[in-house]
């Protein structure tokens, strides 16, 4: 069995750039000392862990992650806003559907793609447009585009409620 020493591993973490990886142990399982050191740094968010099977057992690999942001730097989300990441497509699409349902239930005009993107936390209006197209393809909503000077009207299929027709 081959392994790094805990001090060597800690030194590697300090000097490694995000994305670099290192094999810290080879065999059936890492030794207790290096295993504890690696898990401690993983719990701090500094490394990601994986393993790969080889003929002689496993290669245990750690990859350096970017330094985690301190808790003080996190901005609280304004109340009433969704806190989804754009990486979770199904949840984000459901959040867009929820916003459209609220607008229809309150007899409000349909939000623009830019407004949807801002409220859900998407990167841009194109991402919100994609979520709208997914909802249409899934049969959750229908969209009527009255004219270039009026906002679209969205009908929620499950309830039959519509957003209000309004001019831009």
In a domain, 138, yes or no: yes
In a domain, 72, yes or no: no
| Residue 109, Ramachandran bin (φ over 0: left; ψ between -120 and 50: alpha; else beta) | beta
Domain that holds residue 22: 2-64
The total number of residues written for the chain in this structure: 168
Whether 132 shows a pLDDT value over 50: the answer reads: yes
Based on the fold, state whether residues 48 and 85 are members of the same structural domain.
Answer: no
Residue whose token pair is 């290096």: 34
In a domain, 20, yes or no: yes
How many domains, the chain?
A: 2
- Please give the model's pTM, rounded to 2 decimal places: 0.50
Q: Phi and psi for 45 in degrees, rounded to 5?
A: 85, 15
CATH number, residue 137: 1.10.10.10
Residue 133 to residues 19, 22, 126, 142, Cα–Cα distance (Å) = 35, 43, 11, 10
Per-residue pLDDT tens digits for 70-105: 554 555 555 555 554 445 678 889 999 999 999 999
């Amino acid at each position: 069995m081959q392994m790094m020493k805990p001090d060597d591993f800690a030194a590697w973490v300090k000097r490694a750039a995000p994305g670099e990886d290192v094999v810290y142990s080879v065999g059936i399982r890492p030794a207790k000392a290096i295993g504890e050191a690696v898990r401690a740094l993983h719990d701090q968010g500094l490394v990601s862990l994986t393993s790969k099977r080889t003929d002689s057992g496993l290669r245990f690999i750690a990859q350096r992650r970017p330094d985690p942001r301190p808790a003080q730097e996190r901005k609280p989300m304004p109340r009433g806003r969704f806190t989804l990441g754009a990486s979770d497509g199904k949840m984000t699409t459901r959040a867009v559907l929820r916003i459209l349902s609220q607008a229809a239930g309150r007899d409000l005009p349909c939000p623009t793609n830019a407004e949807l993107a801002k409220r859900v936390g998407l990167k841009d209006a194109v991402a919100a447009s994609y979520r709208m197209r997914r909802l249409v393809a899934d049969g959750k909503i229908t969209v009527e585009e009255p004219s270039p000077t009026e906002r679209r009207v969205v009908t929620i299929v499950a309830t039959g409620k519509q957003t209000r027709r309004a001019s831009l």
